[in-house]
Amino acid sequence: MYLANMSRHNDQKIGDVLKNMVDQMKNKGRLHQTRIRSAWDKQMGKTIVTYTTSIYLRKKTVYISISSAPLRNELTYSKDKIKEILNKELGEELIEKVVIR
């Protein structure tokens, strides 16, 4: 077996290759769930994260459950800002709508 064919050069960046691979994966939804949760924890601060009971994505809508009624009410007024912050942290327009429960 010759290794001559293995010396071909490919000009794709590793990040692009990984993104293409992830886009083709069946478990892309789980990856998005993990990325959204990580972005939420990183951007929202300890107090909000403490009162967050669940966060998940379904059909470009992120559902966020908050156990504190006053905090839930306050976050309801900031849904557009939350969408903007999370999409920026994710590096793509993954979220179109935010629902606070």
Query: pLDDT value at position 48?
Result: 95
**DSSP H helical ranges for the chain:** 14-24, 28-44, 46-51, 69-76, 79-90
H-run or E-run covering 97:
strand 97-100
Residue labelled with tokens 């010759």: 2
Pick from 35, 52, 44, 41: nearest CA to 91: 35
- pLDDT at site 85: 96
* Structure confidence at residue 10 (pLDDT): 64
Answering whether pTM is above 0.85, one says no
Token couple for 71:
């905090």
User: Which domains, and CATH codes, for the chain?
Assistant: 36-101 (3.30.300)
Q: Render each residue's pLDDT in the chain as its tens digit; 101 residues.
A: 444 555 556 677 888 888 777 666 656 777 888 999 999 999 999 999 999 999 999 989 999 999 999 999 999 999 999 999 999 999 989 999 999 99
